[in-house]
Structure 1
Amino acid sequence: MTGLATVLFLGASLAIASPQAGSAGRTAQSARGNHHLGGPRGVVRSSQDFPIEGVMVQLISQKNSIRTTVYSNQLGQYEFPKLDAGQYTLRTPRPLEFRRYLKEAVPIDGATKLGDIVLERVSDSEFLPPTPDILSQISDAEWLYNLPGTGQEKKIFANVCGTGCHTYQMAFRSRFDERSWRLILKRMLGYGGRILVEPRDEAQPRNDLEDQEILVKWLSRVRGPEAQDAPFKVFPRPQGPATRAIITEYELPWLGVHVHDVNADPQGNMWFSINRSPFIGKLDPRTGKIASYRTPRTEGKHPGGHWIQVEKDGTVWYSETWAQNLIRFDPRAEKFHLMNTGVQGNMALSLTDGTIWRTAKGKINRFDRETGKPVEQYPMTKINNTYGNFISWDGRYFGGGNRDPEFDGVVLFDMVTKEVKEVPSPSGVAAPSRGSFDPDGNIWAGGRGGVLLKYDRKTGVASEYAAPTPYNTFYETRADKNGEVWAGEMRAGKIARFNPRTYQWIEYALPEPYSFDWQTYVDNSTDPVTVWYGDQYGYIVRIQPLE
């Protein structure tokens, strides 16, 4: 790592001394020596011949549509990993303040030297025109940052509309009067289960109704029939460590699918659940080949998977949301075993003893692997149900995140002593959701209120950590073998990497302006670790940090 930093520093000095040197003397020195690389390479520069750092450069295989993205460093250099020989599309997926670059049918074979990518600015100022092309690249956080309104109005919008299943593009690119916004919010908030068919049973608290009224007034003002978009100020491009990663996207061969969770089997295949569709899938990352397996039908219930996890022997476990089923799938025999649990959503599978856990109806429950019925129950006093459910690395502890108005925090259950701890979040508005334990047995949960929540098991202290990008929300988080914590920044279009020892954040920008990461999977067998998630919008993403 020291050698890498030295090369970058010396290279930066050369670039400053001779900005007109072009690409002849520039090589991808900063990337060499890394086992992930050795593929096509080139330089990104402006039309004024200055190198541009933090531009995403992407190659799309014409053979299997796999999209591979890397970033330019401070010398404008980029380098891909070794790719299969063939024809590719070369493009810049989110250039934002620069005009798009696109070149079809680019032949790739080994360490192909690519011609310079020369980019022209779309504006002479720091503000970007609100054209359809620019709007399609804007992250939800940038949308919210640029719209007029008070801090209260924007935070209410994020709390009400930023915790779930769609981008802000749907709302912010629409125009409705007050009556119409009121009807839309009534449907979105008064009906549940994502498909918005069944009305919610519970009555809404008075403060929620007051917040909704503020939200209706704000939306009708800033997204009313006569509302116009002003020029946009976008957030800075990636720099330094945030440019040292490879992003690979595997597009699924179906339209309208909503990936929920991913998990790896012992062979390195990625299994994924599909929310709102009656099947699960398997991706072979080496070839991009996708296989699908149809879930048996439950009469009268909307199909759709949620949580998924693979045991050490390759057995796949997953849950169905609306059918409230726990399903065991044997990939070798292609045999399903359905069990109705009476609960929906996320389960927790212990990889040490194979037990299955989940909170429900005020209790921590262990479920029978054959019947799906509770066989052990431990009462909670403050929490009725946690959205996230997870087991510690050693199999001793169960944890979960809860975001009810009455209690905002996490639960910790010791399976040996049977002690239950319900721990409130420091702010009371963290809205912890899904999460994991780190190797030291501490709980980490992604907060839909915009923070990562940690509960230190040894000190008994709960802490919150906010990412550098404003107006972001989290849905989940996953700790790796080194104790670093990974999470999708849903509204920022980034994957966050947080080091609790140094308090350092690295935010890897993604080729799409969102990160609908319902559950991060970390492959701890690689060095550095490899991070995966399945995006709500129909593709699977691999993040390979280079350090």
Structure 2
Amino acid sequence: MSKAQSLLLVCAASLLAATAAHAADQILSGAIAAQSGQKLEGVTVSAKLEGSTITTSVYTDAAGVYVFPPLPAGKYRVWAQALGFERSNGAVELSVARRHDFTLQEMTDPERRFRQLPGEMMVAALPEASADDARMKKIFMNNCTGCHSTSYALQFRFDEAGWSRIIDLMKVVPVTGVYPGPNAKSNQIMERHQKQLAAYLARARGPGESSMKVASRARPAGEAARAVWTLYDLPLNPDTGIGTRYNPNDGTDWSLGTTSKMGQLPHDGALGLDGTIYFTCNNPNRGVTIGKVDPVTGAVKYLKAEAKNGLAATTHGLTRDRAGNLWFDINPGRRALGKLDTRTEKITIYQTPESMAP
């Protein structure tokens, strides 16, 4: 057999394999309407293959119709949700192209409606008409959202005494989220304004009528509604002793509110030149300095640099240079500059001099 014939056979085999692979993928589509029969545009529809760690989400168009990109065959959990509506759940066997329609029911519980909101909508609803309210809102934003989203802090109600107790704790907890002990130095801005801040938050998210004014927001439409989202599950830090590999409140059911960061490893994310997902880890742990996620399979790999305390060096911030290397803040015992060569997976630490503030 000639080299040309061999090359043709290889090309033919590759073409057949590619065709078979595409043939195994199927289209999932459907329509979504309210109970009144109104077609709903911009509804988020999600699908997750059983046993997979990857969730794919799309939006409905102006006719209330959604269409997923081709998905691998198998059994899927599917669900649809929009602000102000209960989540609707379903299941499909995607051995051939399938259509699955949803009818969404309006959510009547005002607290569950509020917990659905993204953080930016909650913050926009906080009062700021007076100079005092504007100052408290700024203090809240500058001091209470450093290591978690605004929606986590605002999703529950407390009276003034309850908010003051929360401030007692959080004014000494750094951005790592680790309580440093009873002798830790307080955040002086929060210390000085604690009483006013607790009263402000109690008026907004206390037991009485709220001072917040939530404005509605249009759902995605037009070109924005053509976006496809991919969500990757990441394992929890086993050292925290939570007892589950993945967080049961993974953010895909908005009515459950914003989950705690306890046990979560990722902090900042970036894409490699080949599409690989990388993340830093700012929480104390034994095995992760930089994490990487295969965008096709969802497989997770951890890269570690040793810290002086025997744990993994923690990292913060992430940016990519033109060569594809990733740069970040790293703390092996003293704050430094870190570099990841994405080709070799080698982490290099450029330590700051002792004369420089850490």
| Letter paired with 2:116 | Q
Task: Say whether the 8 Å CA contact 2:318–2:328 is kept in structure 1.
Answer: yes
Q: Deviations over 1:371-423 (max 9, x none)?
A: xxxxxxxxxxxxxx9xxxxxxxxxxxxxxxxxxxxxxxxxxxxxxxxxxxxxx
2:83 pairs with 1:96: yes
Alignment counterpart, residue 223 of structure 2, candidates 220, 241, 249? 241
Supply the AA of the counterpart residue of 2:163.
W
- Following TM superposition, by how much is the alpha carbon of 1:310 offset from its aligned partner in structure 2, in angstroms? 4.5
Shift of 1:221: 3.6
1:260 alignment partner, SS class: coil
Asked if 1:273 is matched to 2:276, the reply is no
Q: CA deviation at 1:251?
A: 1.4
Question: What is the DSSP-based 3-state SS (H/G/I as helix, E as strand, rest coil) of the residue aligned with 1:68?
Answer: strand
Query: Does the 8 Å CA contact 1:58/1:67 hold for their aligned counterparts?
Result: yes
C-alpha distance 331-54 of structure 1, shift in aligned 2 (>3 A)? closer
Determine the C-alpha separation between the residues in 2 that align with 1:151 and 1:85: 57
Structure 1 equivalent of residue 110 of structure 2: 130
Q: Indicate the residue corresponding to 2:239 in structure 1.
A: none
- Deviation at residue 240 of structure 1 after TM alignment: 2.6
Q: Which amino acid aligns with 1:65?
A: T
Q: How far, CA to CA, are the matches of 1:309 and 1:233 in structure 2?
A: 35
> 1:55-134, aligned counterparts within 5 Å?
55-92=43-80, 94-104=81-91, 106-109=92-95, 112-122=97-107, 128-132=108-112, 134=113
TM-score with structure 1 length normalisation? 0.47
Partner of 1:341: 352
Give 1:333 deviation, angstroms: 5.2
Please name the residue that 1:448 is paired with.
Answer: none
Higher helix proportion (structure 1 or 2): 2
Q: 1:165 aligns with which of 143, 147, 163?
A: 147
Residues 325 and 338 of structure 1 are in contact (CA less than 8 Å); yes or no, is this contact kept in structure 2?
Answer: yes
Alpha-carbon distance between aligned partners in 1 of 2:84 and 2:175, rounded to the nearest angstrom: 38
In 1: Cα distance, 2:187 partner to 2:72 partner: 55
Amino acid in the other structure paired with 1:259 = P
Is 1:291 matched up with 2:301?
yes
Match of 1:218 among 193, 200, 214: 200
- Give, in angstroms, the shift of residue 275 of structure 1: 1.7
**Which of 319, 327, 342 does residue 338 from structure 2 map onto?**
327
Question: SS at the partner of 2:71?
Answer: coil
SS of structure 1 residue aligned to 2:349: strand
The separation in 2 between residues aligned to 1:332 and 1:242, in whole angstroms, is 34
Distance 1:116-1:166 versus aligned 2 partners, 3 A rule: same
Q: Map 1:505-516 to 2 at 5 A.
A: none
* Structure 1 SS opposite 2:110: coil
Q: Is the 8 A contact 1:257 1:275 kept in 2?
A: no
**Distance in 2 separating the partners of 1:340 and 1:58:** 44
Does the 8 A contact of 2:176 with 2:282 survive in 1? no
Instruction: Say whether the 8 Å CA contact 1:57–1:72 is kept in structure 2.
Output: yes
Where does residue 44 of structure 1 map in the other structure? 32
Residues 78 and 189 of structure 1: CA distance in aligned 2, closer, same or farther (over 3 Å)? same
Whole-angstrom distance in 2 between the partners of 1:146 and 1:333? 48
Which among 205, 208, 213 is matched to residue 227 of structure 1?
208
Measured in 1, the distance between the counterparts of 2:204 and 2:300 equals 43
1:140 paired with 2:140, answer no
Show the 5 A alignment for 1:111-510.
112-122=97-107, 128-132=108-112, 134-144=113-123, 150=129, 152=131, 155-162=134-141, 163-189=145-171, 192-195=174-177, 197=180, 199=184, 204=189, 212-224=194-206, 226-227=207-208, 234-254=216-236, 256-278=263-285, 279=288, 280-299=290-309, 303-311=313-321, 315-321=325-331, 323-330=334-341, 334-341=345-352
Secondary structure of 2:138's aligned partner: helix
Residues 149 and 338 of structure 1: is their aligned pair in 2 closer, same or farther, counting only changes over 3 Å?
Answer: closer
The separation in 2 between residues aligned to 1:75 and 1:151, in whole angstroms, is 43
TM-score by length of 2: 0.68
- 1: CA distance, partners of 2:167 / 2:312: 23
| Contact kept in structure 2, 1:63 and 1:87, CA below 8 Å | no
Query: How much is the aligned-residue C-alpha RMSD, in angstroms?
Result: 3.7
Structure 1 residue 136: Cα displacement: 3.2
Unaligned runs of 5+ in 1: 1-36, 123-127, 344-359, 362-384, 386-547
Contact 2:147 / 2:176 at 8 angstroms: preserved in 1?
Answer: yes
List alignment gaps of at least 5 residues for structure 2. Answer: 1-24, 237-245, 247-262
Give the structure with the larger strand fraction.
1
Distance 2:158 2:105 in 1: 36
User: Structure 1: which amino acid aligns with 2:271?
Assistant: A
The code of the aligned residue for 1:116 comes to: D
Deviation at 1:109, TM superposition (A): 5.0
C-alpha distance in 1 between matches for 2:57 and 2:101 = 16
Letter in 2 for 1:197: P
Any idea what SS the aligned residue of 1:136 has? helix
SS at match of 1:181: helix
Shift of 1:42: 1.6
Measured after TM superposition, the shift of residue 161 of structure 1 is: 2.8
Q: Which residue of 2 aligns with 1:53?
A: 41
CA contact (8 A) 1:83 1:109 kept: no
Is the contact between residue 303 and residue 323 of structure 1 (CA under 8 Å) also seen in structure 2? no
Amino acid corresponding to residue 289 of structure 1 in structure 2? A
Cα distance between partner residues in 2 of 1:160 and 1:342: 33
Q: String of CA shifts for 1:431-482, please: whole Å, max 9, x gaps.
A: xxxxxxxxxxxxxxxxxxxxxxxxxxxxxxxxxxxxxxxxxxxxxxxxxxxx
Paired residues in the alignment total 297
1:478-522: CA deviation from partner (whole Å, max 9, x where unpaired):
xxxxxxxxxxxxxxxxxxxxxxxxxxxxxxxxxxxxxxxxxxxxx
| Percentage identity across paired residues of the two chains | 26
Task: Write the distance in 1 (CA, Å) between the matches of 2:222 and 2:150.
Answer: 29
